Amino acid sequence: MKKSSFYKWEGDTLVLNILGTPGASKDAIGKVRGNQLKVSVTQPPRVGRATDHMVRFLADEFDVSRSDIEVVFGRKSVNKQVRIKAPSRLPGCIEPPATALPGPARIK
């Protein structure tokens, strides 16, 4: 898969640009839109609560703890950037870093 501009690796940390959709019918990782990955969450957009819900959802999806996810910017915006430290699982649209050992645990 060709590397896209919606994410980059900084060592073992994944930096991900997100287009958030709060108030959706289900939590889901969607398609890439330009330089962002669409992520929908069921939580309505209220004072950063949707972002908190998104962090919990992404922690489960990437198999990391919530404390391993940092919201760099966009806590109260649909346009966000997050840093995910050493994700154990990746969606198909994200390649593991070049330095990672290949293995089934790296790909969802």
Q: Is residue 97 part of a domain?
A: no
Q: Which domain holds residue 77?
A: 7-86
Q: Is residue 13 part of a domain?
A: yes
Interval 20-50: pLDDT, tens: 999 999 999 999 999 999 999 999 988 889 9
pLDDT of residue 48: 83
The answer, yes or no, to whether residue 3 has pLDDT greater than 80, is no
% of the chain surpassing 70 pLDDT: 87
Distance, in Å, from the CA atom of 101 to the CA atom of 108, rounded to the nearest integer, reads: 15
Q: Is residue 105 part of a domain?
A: no
Number of independent structural domains in the chain? 1
CATH number, domain with residue 22: 3.30.1200.10
The stretch 83-98 carries a mean pLDDT of 93
Q: Is residue 108 part of a domain?
A: no
pLDDT of residue 100: 56
Least confident of 20-24, 98-102, 103-107: 103-107
- How far, in Å, are 67, 87, 101, 103 from residue 37 at the CA level? 21, 16, 25, 24
